[in-house]
Amino acid sequence: MDVSERAKLHAALADPLRLRLVDHLMSKGEACGKELAAALGASVALVSHHTKILEDCGIIVRRREGQFSRFSLNRATLAALREEE
Q: Does 29 score more than 80 pLDDT?
A: yes
Residue 15 phi, psi dihedral angles, 5° rounding: -75, 130
> What is the Cα–Cα distance from 47 to 36, expressed in whole angstroms?
7
Q: What is the CATH number for 39? A: 1.10.10.10
Report field, pTM of the whole predicted structure over 0.85: yes
Q: Taking the CB of residue 33, how many other CB atoms lie within 10 A of it? A: 19
Q: What is the mean pLDDT of the chain?
A: 93
Q: Which domain holds residue 79?
A: 3-84
Query: Which tens digits make up the pLDDT trace of 52-77?
Result: 999 999 999 999 989 889 999 999 99
Which pLDDT does position 64 carry in this prediction?
A: 94
Number of domains in the chain: 1
∠ Cα 8 55 67 (to 5°)? 165
Give the pLDDT band (50/70/90) at residue 85: low
